Amino acid sequence: MNTQMLMYLMIGCGVILFAIIAAFIVMQKNNKERKYIEQLREGTKTSTFSTEILYQKLYVFYLKTPFLKRYLLKLRRRLEIINIDDEYLTRMQSAKILTRSLVLVIPITIAIIVLTSQNLLLMSILLIFEIFLLDTFIDGRVDKIDNNLLKQQINFFSEIRHAYHEFNMVEEAIYQTAQDDDNPEMARQAEKIYEVLISDDPESELEKYYDVAPNSYLKEFAGVSYLTKEFGDRKVDGASLYLKNLNNITQEMQLEILKRDKLDYVFQSLSVIAIVPMLCLEPIKNWAISQFSFVESFYNGKGGMLVQILILVATFVCYILTRKLKDNGSTAKNTKNTENPWQEKLYKIGIVKKIVDLFIPKEGTKEDRKIKTLMKNAASKDKIQWIYINRLLLCIVSFFVALFLFGQMHQLAINNVYTEPTQTYDIIGQMSEKDRLAAMEVTESDNKYIERFKNQNPLEQSDIERAMERGIVDDVYLESTADEIETAAERIMEKIALVNSEYLSWLEVLGSMLIALIAYMMPIWMLIFQTKMRQLEMEDEIMQFQTIILMLMRIERVNVEIILEWLERYSNIFKDPISKCVNNYESGAWEALEAMKEDVTYPQFIRIIESLQAAVEKIPITDAFDELDTERDYYQEKRKESNERLISRKGMIGKAIGFAPMILLFVGYLIIPLVFIGLTSMTSSFSSMSATL
């Protein structure tokens, strides 16, 4: 090996050695970085299975699933208000609630399919009704989160009192208390209120917050904090006015929590009680047939189907009314897409718009004013066009569904003629297998004669008797006596008459039209029901007004107009007259208040208006409402008593509505058929025995 080759070999080995050293250094550096990253992840790394990650993946799955997407977005609209700017938590809670709902609904679905496998119509109706059950469960879970936020607010206000004593500044006290991780939902709301107070334009930011605040108590807190920051705090009876106002809000929340808890307790089982009758239809039917075979023709015939439909309709209506009755007392929420719902999309179609406009009353007419007044009194967020789309669709769908059901009843009656064993009824018990086989042979023989003669017109009983004697259809009656042939021919004639009479009559078309008319009126009746239920809340809203006035009247530079604006913001039942008064206030304060007094009839609200009129021209606001301060304890006790009466009244109405389907089930579907058909069968049996003797 020459010197040149040796030099090349050494250079090559040096390059390889350098590459190995460089690779080792790079690997060491990467290993250090990997260890450093692992150290950073230490303590934050979750276990192999993480429910939070699972819910995040389920959220994406639900969002891509058409049917579940509707419920997921509905959940989001309510939860994202509570979880301000926290997308991760909103997604996790949405997926968690929807998953638990499905865990509840899926076993019920399986039970429905098993129990009603022989009745496809009932199965379909029950499966459709499960949608409403899912809706109820979701609302209940979200209400629980909303109630939890309300309880956190009480703890938050307790903490903010201490922080305010320390800093003596509203925004600093809110910021300091918002750092508490024990109440995460309330901490987010507090941070949002803090951002509003320190913004360049807090007044406009406050208006924006009012639109997204989860409840009215947070609105009151944000508003009082803003007024205190702008106009300053003052001492009243040796105590901070700001802290006294916080105490007033806290007392309101405590009363609201007690009210919600009692309503939940009263109504917690009524929704289930209203639904249970639907699940018991098939078990009761099977038990009754197994014990009393003489009712089989009723349960398998038109009568049984008709009672089933009535029970299902009654259950549906009572379930909706029970929900409305319970939800009416809680904080008003609107989780629907009010910007562009399916009604609005449908109304934009040209031909649909023209048809709907034909039914909508003309602007300014008596009917128009009546409908709009009813919508305002019911606090409906819908437009009048949407109301009439609902009415027309319910009318059309109900008409065709009624026609379909009448047709199904006729078909069911015809099928029973061809499939029921031809046997005299037993008073108690079932037919033996031998008797059933013999009865089915008679039915099969009768079916041949029915098919042979049902289209013959005119048809005489003698025609059937001749066919039996000659064995034209079959040879069953060739050796029968004249009396046996006559009895069989009479029975077949009755069956043929029944088959030929089962067709859609004009009376049933008229009945379908009547059902469609009732369905057309249902949205209006629902608005009337909501209005009646809201009237029960009038006294509660007046007492909320008194609390708001009590908080505002001692703040400097607060006038009647500001009080009216606050009342408008938190009003529900009296929102329309207050809004009208606020709009007309600039043209004359006294006149605007006088016009509002003419628009309302509730005595306690009229008293508030008269006090506001006195504060406009005659005396200061504190003097006009001095009784609110001096009789605060009395009003608190009256508020508690009012809530008790409200809950008691709603409970009575709710129990009457909730138990109605159960009573209809046992009385109309079990007791009456057993008693009536049993007595009829006994009378028939005794008559036959008397004739034989």
In sequence order, what are the residues at sequence separation of 6 or more whose Cβ sits closer than 8 angstroms to the Cβ of residue 323? 136, 139, 271
Find tokens 């993946």 and name the residue: 57
Cβ burial of 303 (10 Å; 0-12, 13-18, 19+) is middle
Concatenated DSSP letters for 397-416? HHHHHHHHHHHHHHHHHHHH
Structure tokens at 113: 């399919």
SS (H, E, C) 491-503: HHHHHHHHHHHCC
Nearest to 410 by CA among 494, 512, 305: 305
473 C-beta neighbours (distance < 10 Å), count: 19
In a domain, 610, yes or no: no
pLDDT along the chain (693 residues), means of 10: 54 58 58 53 53 83 82 80 77 84 82 75 73 75 82 87 85 84 78 88 86 84 87 79 86 85 80 79 82 78 83 84 67 48 82 86 84 78 86 92 87 81 55 73 80 79 79 76 80 82 85 91 87 76 83 81 86 83 86 85 84 81 76 73 81 86 87 80 64 54
Cα distance between the two ends of the chain: 139
CA distance 505 to 509: 7
Residue that is last in its domain, among 268, 295, 329: 268
Q: Rounded to an integer, what is the distance from CA 485 to the centroid of its chain?
A: 61
Nearest to 608 by CA among 539, 659, 558, 519: 539
CA distance 389 to 358: 11
Structure tokens at 640: 């508690």
Q: What is the pTM of this model?
A: 0.70
In a domain, 598, yes or no: no
Q: Specify the DSSP element, H or E, that contains 239.
A: strand 239-240
Give the pLDDT of residue 392.
92
In a domain, 672, yes or no: no
Strand segments (E) across 280-374: none
Residue that is last in its domain, among 504, 522, 537: 504
The number of domains in the chain is 2
In a domain, 666, yes or no: no
In sequence order, what are the residues at sequence separation of 6 or more whose Cβ sits closer than 8 angstroms to the Cβ of residue 646? 259, 329, 536, 537, 539, 540
Find tokens 């109304």 and name the residue: 347
Give the pLDDT of residue 427.
44
SS3 240: strand
Cβ burial of 440 (10 Å; 0-12, 13-18, 19+) is middle
Per the structure, the complete domain to which residue 111 belongs is given by 59-268
Structure tokens at 220: 């009151």
Structure tokens at 13: 């080995």
C-alpha separations of 91 from 67, 75, 147, 481, 648 in Å: 17, 9, 20, 81, 38
In a domain, 314, yes or no: no
Cβ burial of 55 (10 Å; 0-12, 13-18, 19+) is buried
Residue that is last in its domain, among 452, 480, 504: 504
In a domain, 114, yes or no: yes
Cβ burial of 481 (10 Å; 0-12, 13-18, 19+) is exposed
Query: What does residue 269 show for φ and ψ, rounded to 5 degrees?
Result: -105, -10
SS3 150: helix
In a domain, 320, yes or no: no
In a domain, 334, yes or no: no
Q: How are the residues of the chain apportioned to helix, strand and coil, as percentages rounded to the nearest 5? A: 80, 0, 20
Quote the crossing angle between the two packed helices 87-115 and 66-82, to the nearest 10°.
140
